[in-house]
Chains A and B, each alone.
Chain A
Amino acid sequence: MNNLLTNQLPVADWVETITEWVTNNFAGLFSFIQNTGQAVMDSITHGLVQIPPFIFIILLTIAAFFVSQKRFGLTLFTFIGLLFIYNQGLWTDLMSTVTLVLISSVVSIIIGIPLGILMAKSSKAQSIITPILDFMQTMPGFVYLIPAVAFFGIGMVPGVFASVIFALPPTVRFTNLGIRQVPKELVEASDSFGGTAWQKLFKLELPLAKNTILAGINQTTMLSLSMVVIASMIGAPGLGRGVLSALQRAQVGNGFVNGVALVILAIIIDRFTQHLNKPKTVTSKSMSKKKKWGVTASVVVVILAAVGISSFTANSTTDKEINLAYVEWDTEIASTNVVAEVLRQMGYKVNVTPLDNAIMWESVAKGEMDGMVAAWLPNTHGSQYAQYKDQVEDLGANLTGAKVGLVVPSYMDVDSIEELKAQAGKTITGIEPGAGVVNAAENTLKTYSNLSDWKVATSSSGAMTVALGQAIKNKEEIVITGWSPHWMFAKYDLKYLEDPKGGMGDEEAIHTIVRDGLKENQPEAYQLLDNFKWTKEDMEKVMLEIKNKKDPQKAAQDWIKNNQELVDSWKK
């Protein structure tokens, strides 16, 4: 007993081992799913984007009109809501989100309905599956992202994987419930006439359970929509990405706009699926059958056409395509946008994907991403570098003189980490939990005895700057995990705390890291990334522009215009 209490069970290690084993043994299957899934979803998104937005909006409005039985509320809402999304420039994101929701819902239905039928038919299956469903529904959605990345890397496929796990239970439960609720006498009637199990299922149980099942499907689509936001942390494109980056950069307005767009989409999907669920009157029965066929046929035609167009155009895409990963820190937003812009001017198609820090490293190591210009070495990302250094190529520093440390407002009378006692509620306000500077701060707490009862409160880089602004406004004490270059040094009067034991690291450099083999595949891009170098001042210019509400891409373009000479020197 004592042993049990004192020795921690290595559950985490077991799970790691199992995941690793699965990843290694099914690597072929996973990469096949990843590639086909990615291709399918890209072509769907591509096809949806190909349809001119106005035509799309009008088509959906007409659909809403008929679906809602000619009531104007939903029709008007659909029209105005979609126009609003288009007006805010979120159309492409919307289409990515629609694809993600569509695929996760379809996969959930394909898996969920048979599972629900199995549960309804076998009480043993029900008693096994029910606790698993409870587990799936109560486990925080974030947890599913971790194995999703391990199995499928980053992008839409792991997003779908996580969404399916999270959104599957309602469909299963409702299918089971609907079939079990079919009156016993009717089941007996079907049996007494010698109907087989399949005949009973298709002629009696599914038609009667249809409305319950549709209610479950409606729940599933809603849940998968909510997962879209979370899945954007692992590179799933769409509206979620906007919400997440707004959170990380504490931009209330952007967050609101993206959130509202999601709400509009959610309401439209919800109303559409609910109206499909309306009980039909008898008189409309024969009509609605014809109508249903018509609608189904037209939808199929549209999808086929879209896929056809997209596959046609997909073949004509340039092979000069490059994927850059970055973390949503203000430094990285600036540098990545500048590099991406230069590459675009060189004729590349550049996809930039915001990711969580650890996932960014992993994606480059796995070769899913071509590179990044956001590696803080030797300290901040020391642990990631140690983990992946054999799988990536370090092209050296693109910016030197970067610094990481604990930062306080100048009016606080501490100058060194050793002088911290009970200031700021013994709390260091940090950024994202996976960030290198946070790890460094946690190590620092261990190395300094006076910080033994301090803690690091993690949030996001955006939230941290907001907290800093608030504290300075109220002349309160605050200790943050800071780094430069950063616009906050330009905006506020701040100072780094001295770090005699060097726990937070000395001067650092930001490195450019690319995947192995980029040199052979994309020599030009490799050349540019290798040559890319600029100064703290350059970067802070771009950062301030962005901070002052300029679109990052626009800010990068302006900076390139003003520094054409330097940019040209990179291309050689």
Chain B
Amino acid sequence: MIKVQVNNLTKVFGKKAQTALAMMKEHRPKTEILAKTGATVGVYDVNFEVNEGEIFVIMGLSGSGKSTLIRLLNRLIEPTSGDIYIDGQDIAKLSKEGLREVRRHKMSMVFQNFGLFPHRTILENTEYGLEVRGIPKEERQQKAEQALKNSGLISFKDQLPNQLSGGMQQRVGLARALANDPEILLMDEAFSALDPLIRREMQDELIDLQANVQKTIIFITHDLNEALRIGDRIALMKDGEIMQIGTGEEILTNPANDYVREFVEDVDRSKVLTAQNIMVPALTTNIDIDGPNVALNRMRKEEVSMLMVVNKKRELKGYITAESALEARKTHRPLSEFVDATIRTVDKEMLVNDIFTIIFDSPTPLAVVENGRLQGVIIRGSVLEALAETSEVNEDE
């Protein structure tokens, strides 16, 4: 069931729009078009559809035209050409009154800097959408209070926005949009102004909300991780054009062109992280000084069953297990005879991606060395953790 369909949508700011469009067709860069015509192409020939109940994420760097695109959908910015169908009705052709009806009943918007009215209380802000519809005071306050209850802000209803934290303000913005009970939510970088922890929280809340209320959500972000976390499908924009539309999986696995590939690589940390980013300090024993007792003592204290073995100059000699150390104590032989030198080493500049394959074959942790000297070790846990912090990317190796 298609909810929103966009065909050949274009927006050019300024005069000489036709010249600018002709230059766009020749794929001239934006800067050149601006210099020649004085016109800026905000959005060029965009086509996509959004299904009912889907979270459709539009992603791109700043200046890619994504904010213009979302404003074209509810015509805060008038399109230069193209069609926008919502439930089969062409928004671009609507009269002012018709458009107002659509805005009041079908679509609501959430803004990057919350867009709360500083002179109105939280409750008055939340009921604004209902107020302009002319709904009686009793009823609209009831609805607004319900929306605030849902987001756990009811106790703040008589405060002014500037008395609340950013996260709370954005919850109010969301509550204000939801109080209208719209079918479509437009979210313009809604979480970009929040700090990372709150951001993650809000993303989770949005996912929960989507599970409960089944709205169609068009979400704008410049953050791939955010897009991958919440988006059912993602559209990636550059210079006003859509480069690729697909699920997170599709975009990561089959980038349509170099730009998408670079964009994705930038964010895929497994291709950026190196050994030294994820190594942990090594537990060592100095073969020139320590005996078996010292080594066993250290193992007991650190609750491990093996140690890296180095000499005075911290050059890596190998590793020693608890069994071999016990053997050394029993037989009164020096530790050096029990050192296992078959340890896998990696260079500290090696990419996590490549460490992956080595570590799964290796029975021992990997030693990170530089000029033969031990820098640290890599254990399986730290690799997994590093990757979990990015997206759940299944590497296609």
Contact = CB atoms under 8 A, between A and B. Distances in A.
B63 interface: no
Given A185-B111, A199-B132, A282-B159, A192 B118 contact: no
B133 interface: yes
A185 B132 contact: no
Contacts of B133: 194
| A contacts with B: majority SS | helix
B132 A188 contact: no
Nearest to A208: B119
Interface in B13-45: none
Contact of B76 (A192, A204, A208): A192
Interface in B24-80: 71, 74, 76
Interface in A161-220: 183, 185-186, 188-196, 199, 203-204, 207-208
B160 interface: yes
A192 B74 CA distance: 7
Contact of B115 (A189, A194, A196, A203): A189
Contacts of A191: 76, 103
B180 A193 contact: yes
Contact of A208 (B109, B118, B159): B118
Contact of B132 (A183, A193, A282): A193
Interface in B127-141: 128-129, 131-133
A190 B180 CA distance: 13
Contacts of B129: 193-194
A348 to B, nearest CB: 58
Nearest to B115: A189
A328 B196 CA distance: 78
B236 interface: no
B117 A204 contact: yes
A189 B117 CA distance: 9
Contact of A186 (B76, B104, B112, B115): B115
Contacts of A207: 119
A190 B103 CA distance: 10
Contacts of A192: 74, 76, 103, 107-109, 186
Nearest to B129: A193
Interface residues of A, number: 18
A194 B109 contact: no
Contact of A194 (B112, B116, B132): B132
B214 interface: no
Nearest to A185: B115
B338 to A, nearest CB: 70
Contacts of B71: 188
Contacts of B150: none
B219 to A, nearest CB: 15
B254 interface: no
Contacts of B186: 192
Interface in A441-498: none
B160 A194 contact: no
A188 B73 CA distance: 13
B100 interface: yes
Given A194-B132, A204-B117, A282-B163, A189 B111 contact: yes
| Among A188, A199, A207: residue with most chain B CB under 10 A | A188
Contact of A189 (B102, B109, B131, B160): B109
B5 interface: no
B17 to A, nearest CB: 19
Contacts of A185: 111-113, 115
A302 to B, nearest CB: 30
A191 B78 CA distance: 13
Contacts of A204: 117
Nearest to B118: A208
Nearest to A279: B119
Nearest to A282: B160
Interface string B369-388: 00000000000000000000
| Among A183, A194, A208, A282: residue with most chain B CB under 10 A | A194
Given A185-B112, A188-B109, A188-B111, A193 B103 contact: yes
A204 B129 CA distance: 13
B250 interface: no
A207 B109 CA distance: 22
A190 B176 CA distance: 11
B173 to A, nearest CB: 8
A189 B160 CA distance: 17
Nearest to B106: A194
Contacts of A190: 128, 132
Contacts of B392: none
B101 to A, nearest CB: 7
Contacts of A203: 117, 128, 131-132
Contacts of B102: 194
A379 B367 CA distance: 119
> A-B pairs with the 8 shortest C-beta distances?
A194-B104, A189-B115, A194-B103, A193-B129, A192-B109, A195-B132, A194-B100, A185-B115
Given A192-B74, A193-B108, A203-B117, 13 more contacts: A183-B113, A185-B112, A185-B115, A186-B115, A188-B71, A192-B109, A196-B100, A203-B132, A204-B117, A208-B117, A208-B118, A208-B119, A282-B159
Interface of A: 183, 185-186, 188-196, 199, 203-204, 207-208, 282
18 contacts: A183-B113, A186-B115, A188-B71, A188-B76, A189-B128, A192-B74, A192-B186, A193-B108, A193-B128, A193-B129, A193-B180, A194-B101, A194-B104, A194-B132, A203-B128, A203-B131, A208-B119, A282-B159
